[in-house]
Amino acid sequence: MLYVRFQDHIPFALAMQLPEQTTPALEQNLAVRPIHCKGCFKNMGYLDEQSDGVKIWKWSIKLSQTNPHQSSGLCLPQMPSISSIVSTRISSILQAQCCSRLLLHPLEWKPSLAASEMNKMSRSLLSLWILTPTLRYSATNSSAVDEPSLSPGKLAMKVFWKEVTEEDAAKLMDTVEEVPLPSEAIQQVSACLHDSALLLPPSTRKFQGWDVGLLERWEEK
């Protein structure tokens, strides 16, 4: 059985005992030892030796009924998207650090100014510049349009963003706040930002070398 010990914006911190449905990585030399679901093999979190526990990514959690064939009349709550989870973390940094420039990088990444062909070409990091922390929007595929009397629009934040190489990211370290995430999560955030540009007028999707996008923010219904 797992017990929640501490709740962060992005992961849950749990007691060290793992459920049978998960398995830790076997590599002992990894700085971050991920754990994966035995059923779907997805990355669910990692072992955190500092807190003597396990951290589970919130976007990897799904809700289901114990008996899907027996309806209790209750609707399961909607789980927050990865975009809204990451934007919550970004909002906390804005409030605590008053910093609007962020770098989303893989968990084990360490900045290095040493030039190499790999860190010159690889673009697995995201540089973000928060333009508008809070706004609301409506779109033709938005539930806010379907029920305009019940919702003032979807809550989001507007950001400038760009994919950067490891070499470029290392040069930004004195001017940004770091947000370490799994590589696949960074790719999903990048996809969310890319898709959200379709909600903006074509003339506002670029600004001086930056892409412009929206990150959904969590709002209790």
pLDDT tens, position by position, 181-206: 998 999 999 999 999 999 999 999 99
Half-sphere exposure of 69 (CA within 13 A, CB side): 0
The angle that helices 183-196 and 82-97 make with each other, rounded to 10 degrees, is 90
Q: 114-118: list long-range contacts, CB under 8 Å, 24+ apart.
A: 115/167, 116/167, 118/166
| Phi, psi (deg, nearest 5) at residue 151 | -140, 135
Domain boundaries, the chain: 4-60, 82-216
Structure tokens at 144: 């806010």
Nearest to 129 by CA among 87, 160, 157: 160
Q: What is the pLDDT of residue 35?
A: 84
What is the value of pTM for the model shown? 0.75
Q: Length of the chain, please?
A: 221
- For residue 34, the SS3 value is strand
Q: Do 144 and 154 contact (CB within 8 A), yes or no?
A: yes
- Across the chain, mean pLDDT equals 78
Residue 69 has pLDDT above 80, yes or no: no
Cα 71 to Cα 63, 75, 77, 79: the distances in Å are 14, 9, 15, 19
Instruction: Give me 129's structure tokens.
Output: 């510049």
Q: Residue 138 — pLDDT band, cuts 50, 70, 90?
A: confident
Question: In DSSP terms, which residues pair with 48 in a beta bridge?
Answer: 53
Residue type at position 136: R
Helix (H, G, I), strand (E, B) or coil at 40: coil
- 109 falls in which pLDDT band (50, 70, 90)? confident
Q: What angle do CA 135, 179, 158 make, to 5 degrees?
A: 15
Q: Give 41-91 as a DSSP string.
A: --EEEEEETTTTEEEEEGGG-----SSTTS--SPPPPPPPPHHHHHHHHHH
